[in-house]
Structure 1
């Protein structure tokens, strides 16, 4: 008998070429995806900045909006000319873009404060509140979503679904007022408003290298009473804002866990006698968290929007609190700066989320 041996077309190295090529394709796909997502940041920010600029100019020039009716016509015209708001709108627009590129957001009309300094001072407070709210959202939404999936179609599942609807349907300011009424006024367990008590706030602001994030500054100070005071003041606003996102996470985790439990590989594990609890913990839970990562960017935008009402309700002096004050003063230059910063933050967070999602889930790249 004659044995015929067929040589691989590509020579001795051919068997290893296919895995290598596949790895190169995967690496190239990830790199191309991330590059495209990064480049999309710039037109996104440009469109957002342009939209905000146009909307702010629909009411006329900012000085007339803020000071109209309070100053004589001659003084008003002089200030408009000094600020350059009597020039063509396109000239103002290009000058504004040039200032933004240099990090100059302008000067507030109502208080004469540099907007970039104001954004730095009050942005830390909003960042801290958003961080607390995300912790609440994860701590409440993910475990309860997992529990609802495990007990699906039973009465606890129905209760949790109603709870989720209430979380993201209840206005943030109303939830905040209820929390203040129950836990601050009636029970007296927590402070009513503010980021810290007066004494603690003085200690925090007197530090040489203050970050503006009270928890970090309190930890640097090393005073246990100050740390406790800062955390107590953060509980109610964090819960009020965090529940808004927790309801979304609860429904999302529940839906995806139930879908994963019905997939083929879970059915195969179930046929081998794996318990439902182990299936939930080992096979269905982690894949269901991937969609959570993909929607975090949208939830950041939701948190920044909710922070306006939350900060006003609890007198949490962040960007939302300042935004309301500038709106009341009709200081549209300052309002424009705050809104543009929020838009830039949302665009950057969405890019970071896209990177994380692409790293943990290859399907996102294609």
Structure 2
């Protein structure tokens, strides 16, 4: 008997089993994921020809164009360019822009914090809207409020984010005049925040550091509509997830046992069933963050929110495909790493995810 316990204990502690094995596998999956994504980006960017001809070809003589192509290495075979591109990516070099000769990593440092701030605000909106309304829909299932909320969820994730942004601007900025039309902050507030020692680039954090309510309220007012436009996209998904899983949880045996003891239905929802229903939200969080990063491109353009998405559209307009290729590849790496971190958190919370 003791030998059996020893064998069982040794199996439980075997490296590579359980959580450790799950984390290792998920981490190793980052490599093929990033490889596939950056390969797709490289191939799509080459569909239009070489980046220099696409960007400045019409403004150069043939001799000047050939000289620029040779200097950048675009006159070499496509396979050689691809191998060099992969080597650069895996050493952290995402290239330099053609229009202003800036390093792509520098663009990330300058504008990535703005996109991060927008995604965090949108995630807060999605959680605040999606989870309570999902719980309410499950509590009132098969009644008219449930039907209304389900239609609301469909509208949230089916409405294009740019259309939602324009509609919100029309109502709350043009008609009602409650909120600003665009930007991350008023010019004078942005000037004050830019002068803060050790500025993080995240306006709400810098505003909170000053302790000045006028700065905080201005930043929140500018963030309200972009966060709402982007957050509602994910709120609809969260609402449906919470509703479906909460209804399933309310049918479990331990909930039926609590119900038989006379526990009120509202208390069953709040105290017994909602925590297990939140686990699927955590498991899909990585995918939703990736969707938010994609939606941030349109949201930032709609509200002139100077982040990575806004800069990406500017480089697209300038036909600077080196910049576009670098930014998209960088976003692909960020999405892959984010999904890995979310998967680890989900495995820590719910052991069933590991198997």
Q: Tell me if both proteins adopt one fold, taking TM over 0.5 as the criterion.
A: yes
Q: Given the alignment of the two structures, is residue 118 of structure 1 paired with residue 107 of structure 2, yes or no?
A: yes
**Which aligned pairs between 1:199-214 and structure 2 lie closer than 5 A?**
199-214=188-203
**Structure 1 stretches of 4+ moved >4 Å:** 16-23
| Cα distance in 1, alignment partners of residues 265 and 14 from structure 2 | 38
| Cα distance in 2, alignment partners of residues 156 and 23 from structure 1 | 48
Deviates more, 1:330-339 or 1:112-121: 112-121
Counterparts in 2 of 1:146 and 1:22: CA distance versus 1, 3 Å: farther
Could you tell me how far 1:56 is from its partner in structure 2?
Answer: 0.9
Q: Is the 8 A contact 2:15 2:21 kept in 1?
A: no
Deviates more, 1:23-32 or 1:174-183: 23-32
**What's the counterpart of residue 147 of structure 1?**
136
Could you tell me how far 1:177 is from its partner in structure 2?
Answer: 0.8
Q: Deviations over 1:231-287 (max 9, x none)?
A: 110000000000000000001000000011112221222223222122112221000
User: How many residues of Structure 1 are paired with residues of Structure 2 in the alignment?
Assistant: 355
| Cα distance in 2, alignment partners of residues 283 and 10 from structure 1 | 39
Could you tell me how far 1:209 is from its partner in structure 2?
Answer: 1.8
Could you tell me how far 1:213 is from its partner in structure 2?
Answer: 1.0
| Cα distance in 2, alignment partners of residues 256 and 301 from structure 1 | 23
| Cα distance in 2, alignment partners of residues 260 and 18 from structure 1 | 36
From the CA coordinates, give the structure whose radius of gyration is larger.
1
**What's the counterpart of residue 253 of structure 2?**
264
Which among 31, 37, 41 is matched to residue 30 of structure 2?
Answer: 41
Which among 315, 337, 346 is matched to residue 348 of structure 1?
Answer: 337
Give the secondary structure class of the aligned counterpart of 2:13.
Answer: helix
Q: Given the alignment of the two structures, is residue 285 of structure 1 paired with residue 285 of structure 2, yes or no?
A: no
Deviates more, 1:20-29 or 1:142-151: 20-29
**What's the counterpart of residue 3 of structure 1?**
none
Could you tell me how far 1:343 is from its partner in structure 2?
Answer: 0.7
Q: Given the alignment of the two structures, is residue 79 of structure 1 paired with residue 73 of structure 2, yes or no?
A: no
**What's the counterpart of residue 10 of structure 1?**
2
Could you tell me how far 1:208 is from its partner in structure 2?
Answer: 3.4
Deviates more, 1:272-281 or 1:18-27: 18-27
Structure 1 unpaired stretches of 5+: 1-8
Could you tell me how far 1:137 is from its partner in structure 2?
Answer: 0.1
**What's the counterpart of residue 321 of structure 2?**
332
Could you tell me how far 1:28 is from its partner in structure 2?
Answer: 3.0
Could you tell me how far 1:185 is from its partner in structure 2?
Answer: 1.1
Q: Is the 8 A contact 2:200 2:206 kept in 1?
A: yes
TM-score between the two structures when normalised by the length of structure 1: 0.93
**What's the counterpart of residue 106 of structure 1?**
95
Q: Given the alignment of the two structures, is residue 64 of structure 1 paired with residue 53 of structure 2, yes or no?
A: yes
Deviates more, 1:43-52 or 1:16-25: 16-25
| Cα distance in 1, alignment partners of residues 134 and 14 from structure 2 | 36
Q: Is the 8 A contact 2:203 2:219 kept in 1?
A: yes
| Cα distance in 2, alignment partners of residues 282 and 206 from structure 1 | 47
Deviates more, 1:94-103 or 1:166-175: 94-103
Give the secondary structure class of the aligned counterpart of 1:333.
Answer: helix
Q: Is the 8 A contact 2:127 2:235 kept in 1?
A: yes
Give the secondary structure class of the aligned counterpart of 1:142.
Answer: helix
| Cα distance in 2, alignment partners of residues 88 and 22 from structure 1 | 52
